[in-house]
Amino acid sequence: MRFTEKLAAAWAANNSLVCVGLDPDLQRLPAHLSRDAAGIATFNRAIIDATHDLVCAYKPQIAYFAACAAEDALRDGIDHIQRNYPHIPVILDAKRGDIGSTAEQYAVEAFERYGADAVTINPYMGHDSAEPFLRRADKGVVILCRTSNPGAADFQDLDVGGRPLYEIVAENVAQKWNGNRNCMLVLGATWPEQVARIRAQVGDVPFLVPGVGAQGGDVEKLVRAGRTANGTGLVINSSRAILYASSGEDFAEAARSEARKLRDLVNRYR
């Protein structure tokens, strides 16, 4: 099944637009878990088991694993999803972007080493740096457009012939890069006006949306701005607010409660 088909099926099966970001910070793991790769693997499996029926995707952030040499725990988490919940897509948050020959290796890393269904990339170096990902028609390519961080405006809002650069990125992705219908755009929940503008520009291209929960994005404004005509089109990511809802042995139950709250809140405005 192609990534976009798998995502659409997960939206429907779980009646959810919520994505749980797997960002395992060693310093924030519950006290009863070891501060190592084994503890990360245990933590991730528990979070996944507790939330699998409430989400449309999982998004492991590679830096949290690589920084503490826990790549095996990343592979373990993805394997756990694919063995037990194969209908839920995995988006590897790696934000790759390099010359074509190097990008080819990054595509192998994401799709063959880790077995992800999709990967985030940075479009700054242009089409040839994205092409090794784009040509894998069954895989998703999630392209940074208007991100949620405060410094996003430094470059993404720069005027390019009377339009902000992020609009040019969105236009190129929708019209030139999406020949295999496998592209998504990253748009921050903290900027609902820009989300609405890009939705009008690109039609039904799905959006990965960070910035709710700990970053304070307004769920109602986001959903009304970004939903498609059928009430989908969004993959709304929350990481810290779900992962660290409790620091005790009930962390998985607390994560489930937070994921359910967010799923239900999002659905109120679809």
Which residues does the annotation mark as catalytic? 95
The answer to whether 30 and 249 have CB atoms below 8 angstroms apart is yes
The answer to whether 58 and 23 have CB atoms below 8 angstroms apart is no
**Residue 195 DSSP symbol:** H
Strand partners, 90: 58
3-state class (DSSP) for residue 70: coil
Q: Which two tokens stand for residue 210?
A: 């960070």
CA dihedral 125, 183, 167, 23 (to 10 degrees): -80
How many other β-carbons are positioned within 10 Å of the β-carbon of residue 256?
21
The answer to whether 120 and 186 have CB atoms below 8 angstroms apart is yes
Strand partners, 238: 20
Q: DSSP for 119-181?
A: EEE--TT-HHHHHHHHT-TTSEEEEEEE-SSGGGHHHHT-EETTEEHHHHHHHHIIIII-TTS
